[in-house]
Chains A and B, each alone.
Chain A
Amino acid sequence: QSVLTQPPSASGTPGQRVTISCSGSSSNIGNNYVYWYQQVPGTAPKLLIFRNNQRPSGVPDRFSGSKSGTSASLAISGLRSEDEADYYCATWDDTLSGWVFGGGTKLTVL
């Protein structure tokens, strides 16, 4: 069972906007930056969002992140078929003294 809670699945049609949530606690999300990773099955995770809402160069601005209290969200607008992947949130946990990941959300583009 993951320290960070994500919905196991999400879906949308091309062009739609979808949001993926990540719920934690005061010892992790509440006190630290949140990062988001995209993983196509069989490949390594790819950094999508860092420090809550920053995009690495090369990541489209269709992807955005936000954080409020002990929860965070990843929003994908203008959904495309290539966005179909697993998405993971991650942050530092002060109590566990280590990085923790969410259980992941499988995004299906219908």
Chain B
Amino acid sequence: QVQLQESGPGLVKPSQTLSLTCAVSGGSIRSRGYFWTWVRQRPGKGPEWIGYIYDSGSTHYNPSLKSRLIISLDTSKNQFSLKLSSVTAADTAVYYCAGDYCIDGVCSGYDYWGQGTLVTVSS
């Protein structure tokens, strides 16, 4: 069973870069068909899709965050990462990593989730 675990600072100063890592266990991050994703949830709001990276290393980002966002794979450590630059208080949220499995553009849904990590942007 695939398991995901987020890690990273819980407090980031405004204008700095938010960096999180998601360790994947129980499966290879290079397995074909898997879309490794970041989702965030602001307090009291619904989830917001941030973006994903898939087995080839290709990425797809939320257009509203694209200019500040980098998602990358580290196959040697079986993990993927999120970097969001120039953060403001509006980026305060619980950040989740998640995994989806898709074949020929048809997806099974986000069946794998980390437990989530709260990141607060404050000076």
Contacts and interface: CB of A to CB of B under 8 A. Distances in A.
Interface of A: 2, 33, 35, 37, 43-47, 49-51, 56, 88, 90, 96-104
Query: What's the interface size class on B, roughly?
Result: 20 to 34
A45 B113 contact: yes
SS class, residues of chain A in contact with chain B: strand
B49 A102 contact: no
A104 to B, nearest CB: 5
Interface of B: 45-49, 51, 60-63, 96, 98, 106-111, 113-116
A40 B110 CA distance: 16
Given A35-B110, A43-B115, 11 more contacts: A2-B46, A33-B106, A44-B113, A45-B96, A46-B113, A47-B111, A51-B109, A56-B109, A56-B111, A98-B60, A101-B48
A72 to B, nearest CB: 13
Contacts of A98: 49, 51, 60-63
A47 B63 contact: no
B46 A103 contact: yes
